[in-house]
Amino acid sequence: MAKTNKTSGKLAIVVIVLLLLVLAGSLVGNFLVYIKFDEKKKSVKSLNDEYEKVKKEYDAKLNEVKELDEEIKKYENLDSEIAENKKLYFANIKKLEDEILAKKSKKKIAYITFDDGPYYNTYKVLDILDKYNVKATFFTQSGNGKNCWDNRSANCFNLYKEYNKRGHTIANHTYYHAIWGSTYKSTTEFLTQIKNQHEHIKKQSGGYVPTIMRFPGGMNTAKGMLGQKGFATVTSELKKMGYGWVDWTAQDGDGGDLTSTDQAWANFKSSINDNIEVILFHDYDSRTTAILPDVINYLQKNGYSLFPLFYESNMVNKK
């Protein structure tokens, strides 16, 4: 009987041990599952954190894009506003011209123009105009090539963007300006040079569309070289292209045989006698550049308002 009790006790111990082992295994298993679950939980949290970080970055970028879109729209509207203001600006000048020509106003207007550029010296001219807050008109040609005639190491085509950026009128003076060469060879050649320079101005300036041209040597030279019939053909085509053409009423003679700055100044002063003046200068001439500040002061002191030329001006021929 005692032996049976002893065996039963051992069996009970074995069962208890086995139960404890099973329980321990279960606990270990559950613990391992918990550890894996916790790791998964941490992994998910890490992924959530990363997602939130990426989402914030995305939202920030999205806001930047929206802000950029708004800025672009502002600039688009600004371009329209500038165009409208420019249109109104020139309309008011035209109205003033009409009043002056009808002798209803004692005010005066001067249009300062420069022929044959761009040149490296043009930068000096532009800086002087900026200093006095004056806008002018530049009749450009491309016969000198890409490199500046007065500084072959410089790219003069860059000046087209400068004209545009600084608010000046860019005008067409034919592509080659070869008075005794190809330019007046025929009406076809002349118009080809106008078209080529037109496209050149648009390309180099960043989109400026010229509507004014000046015949190399002036209208009388063009009539003499092309003949009356050829001149009529050219002007008819120019009108179809949306162009007007203009000569000048005053100058300092820098396109001829100037001997000194004093002579340039004297020539300029003696040529100013109309209430509306279109003044011819050349932006390669150092004597003109030297007297330009005095020219501006003289005109303003004598009651002239200084403006850039525009297509609708009475001074621009369209007939």
**Cα 290 from chain centroid?**
28
Domain residue ranges of the chain, discontinuous segments joined by +: 1-105, 107-306
Average of per-residue pLDDT values in the chain: 89
Q: What is the pLDDT of residues 35-86, one digit of tens each?
A: 666 676 677 677 777 777 776 777 776 676 667 666 655 555 656 777 889 9
Q: What is the pTM of this model?
A: 0.78
Please tell me the distance from the alpha carbon of residue 248 to that of residue 111, in angstroms, as a whole number: 9
Nearest-Å Rg of the Cα atoms of the chain is 41
CA distance 251 to 281: 6
Closest among 271, 229, 234, 228 to 250, alpha carbons compared: 271
Asked if residues 129 and 166 have their Cβ atoms less than 8 Å apart, the reply is yes
Say what the pLDDT of residue 297 is: 98
Instruction: Count CB-CB contacts under 10 A for residue 178.
Output: 16
Superfamily in which the 107-306 domain is placed by CATH: Glycoside hydrolase/deacetylase (3.20.20.370)
Question: In sequence order, what DSSP letters do the residues of 187-248 get, joined into one string?
Answer: HHHHHHHHHHHHHHHHHHHTS----EE--TT-HHHHHHHHHHHHHHHHHHHHHHTT-EE---
The residue among 36, 57, 35, 63 whose CA lies nearest residue 49 is 57
* Token pair 């004597």: residue: 287
Q: Is the pLDDT of residue 217 over 80?
A: yes
- Whether the predicted pLDDT of 165 surpasses 70: yes
Residue 27 has pLDDT above 70, yes or no: no
Residue 137 has pLDDT above 90, yes or no: yes
CA distance 101 to 95: 10
Q: Going by C-beta distance under 8 Å and a sequence separation of 6 or more, which residues neighbour residue 263?
A: 253
What is the pairing mode between strands 147-148 and 137-140? unpaired
Q: Identify which of 233, 225, 228, 140 has the alpha carbon closest to the alpha carbon of residue 185.
A: 225
Specify the pairing of strand 151-155 against strand 250-251: unpaired
Q: Which two tokens stand for residue 177?
A: 């300006």
Kindly tell me if the per-residue pLDDT of 1 is higher than 60. Answer: no
